[in-house]
Chain A
């Protein structure tokens, strides 16, 4: 096959995967959908990425970029047969600027590696998805990833100052930069969260954040989800924005305790993990307020991490939670929706009700502080009709979240998973505007086609054309 031959002559045969077994290995991410991969290329430089994009274009083949494959919405799973450009080898960290607190990093640098590499400077990279030990900064940019500490720090877009970007023509452009407000349209912010549909991000200029001088981490246990949710609302209402405020329900705590064996309260109906940071006095005072609010709401116990190692174990428990579900069932579908914090109790109740009505196993672990829900359905796809049932339940959960005034996705991206639900939050005119933006970057529709925007997103266009009797588009 000529595509593979061309890739081999550019990258060498050891960095091109095309054997049927290798393609199976590459045809999915950490989510549930599989796609068709024509070949997987492992470039090492921006120029090689650009060459891969040009080779794909010459063969009329779409391009899908992939990092570590930890995505959950199918963002790096081809919707139609495509060349997969795997960016894990672009894993260098350049130009750590200690004074300006910025760094240029390759798209394939692992999120946690970046924080580790800057630890000795007292700095870290703030967005910390649960998969941060495994996921790449490039993938974070693609999905505008969040994480527990995005409650106070904001999601990925707030931490990206610039990107180096390979366009659909194979040109390399630089968007954004160290200047706080670069002139012209802010295309950097357009690229963050575009899920590889505009081009391939190869390098990222990130903002680094100072490590807080003091940290207080609290594990609060409750005998009802409602009491935990009331605490979340109470804390926010008290004017405190914790660095993180995370909830896990009982089934989730049981699953993760099986792995971590950290003495987590497996009998509690729900636990909250709250983190307060700042100057010593401030963090301590805020922690005291959180404790008081939790106790008033009915917290049954409060455990304060005594030292860094206990704190690390609590966070390890939280961040490994989603991976621990195989102890419950072989497959999982991890949802990602957002609801207003004031509607947490209401929506959670409805979500449990959906689970019960459909007789599906549900575990919950989520960013309670910003109302970002992650109901997680554990199931076995080989059970007849199960996958359909799970998908239907998923859609119902998204619908009630949106109906409650929330959003489709908090941080995982739209990908394939939510593509056809975009109509729930966008009018045709909105979708059309987004499709036009996309066309401006990728007129031939070769960059991760079939993602984010539903088929027919440009229907408005056709309406317009019909109405105006063949006006040019």
Chain B
């Protein structure tokens, strides 16, 4: 399939420069600088497309400073597909003006993330470092390591798991295992599989699936992202639903239409676990647990709230788990994790992470749910001891087993 990511002229035209996106942009909020705003970035893309100026390091910086949280997209009354345009602009820049740093980053997200043995090795290493208590010796850029869950020294994977089908299955579900999700968050997959099985679904995690390619797409590694999408279109064939318990992945699967032949079918069948389970609670296939489990702060991952416009579902799940959801941020501004952004842009990630920490502290609860792995890591790194951060599906699964 010929990729046509854009930004196309029609997409550029769809911005009328009204500026209503500005307050929703975390980097604009931090800097007040139009060049760090969605409108500014679109203007820059347009100027490059027109040939008014050459794509140089200033343009590269304007693109790379974006978190790709897509909050601007949700706020845009003219429906500008900003996320896709940014992916396309980064891919074009990678082609036309490759840099060593860019190559390394694309190698990491385009190729290395798919090497299971390597990821397992890293996971073991993290597990060892955690047990040796030498986490604080890591450089600041690696702060995210402090936000990791305790890792196994001998990691395991959900890929290839076929759960026993109920007598009359409600339908078949392919669980997208993901890359780091699979290795670093096995408990979330366990909860997802448990809840879906309880609701009567036959859950598989197909062997041939790969990383969804979201990080590759965000980084401008378009060929790798397309290849992963193609592999997954095949691997995920035949299932009624494709469920992901990482918001970044479910958001990307829903964008498969422009990444691979047949991607539209994957997109149509994809559900984030939160929306899937919330609907099952609504229709009575899954129970609401009584009880006062206390207050739980809701963190909205950008790729759940802004990219997929899923807002009520995690709250509903928290309520169904017998807890009271507490809001922390009326705007749902990015926590600064943004995939690998927290590694590449530690200063901005730090500022946004601290902002989020203050919001959580103001709100009160010491349990926080986040439906995306990157946010969870960032929240834990910033909140520190005394806070519990987990996926809403884990909270619900705990309640069901109480």
Residues of chain A at the chain B interface (Cβ within 8 Å): 17, 19-22, 24-26, 28-30, 40, 42, 68-70, 86, 88-89, 91, 108, 110, 112-113, 116, 131, 133-135, 256, 258-260, 320-327, 330-332, 380
Contacts and interface: CB of A to CB of B under 8 A. Distances in A.
Contacts of A321: 77
Contacts of B13: 326, 330, 380
B47 interface: yes
B281 interface: no
Interface stretch (B52-60, B145-153, B246-254): B52-60
Contacts of B221: none
B77 A256 contact: yes
A326 to B, nearest CB: 3
A134 B20 contact: yes
A325 B16 contact: yes
A89 B32 contact: yes
Contacts of A19: 58
Interface residues on B, range: 20 to 34
A322 B13 CA distance: 15
A22 B18 contact: no
Given A17-B33, A323-B20, A331-B16, 18 more contacts: A24-B52, A25-B34, A30-B18, A30-B19, A40-B34, A69-B39, A70-B22, A88-B32, A89-B31, A108-B32, A134-B19, A134-B22, A135-B19, A323-B16, A323-B78, A325-B16, A326-B79, A327-B78
A46 B15 CA distance: 33
Contacts of B40: 25
Interface string B24-48: 0000000111110001100110011
6 contacts: A21-B62, A88-B33, A89-B31, A134-B21, A134-B23, A323-B20
B53 A323 contact: no
B76 interface: yes
A113 B13 CA distance: 30
A42 B32 contact: yes
Contacts of A70: 18-20, 22
B65 to A, nearest CB: 12
Contacts of A21: 44, 47-48, 53, 56, 58-59, 62
Nearest to A112: B23
B17 interface: yes
Tell which of B23, B32, B35, B58 has the most Cβ of chain A within 10 Å.
Answer: B32
Nearest to A258: B79
A28 B17 contact: yes
B19 A326 contact: no
A259 B34 CA distance: 24
B234 interface: no
Contacts of B359: none
Contacts of B56: 21
B19 A86 contact: no
Tell which of A19, A69, A133, A134 has the most Cβ of chain B within 10 Å.
Answer: A134
Contacts of B44: 21, 24-25
Contacts of A380: 13
A205 to B, nearest CB: 22
B397 to A, nearest CB: 30
Interface in B74-89: 76-80
B237 interface: no
- Give the 5 A-B CB pairs with smallest separation, nearest first: A88-B32, A326-B78, A330-B13, A323-B77, A323-B18
Contacts of B48: 21
A9 B36 CA distance: 22
B99 interface: no
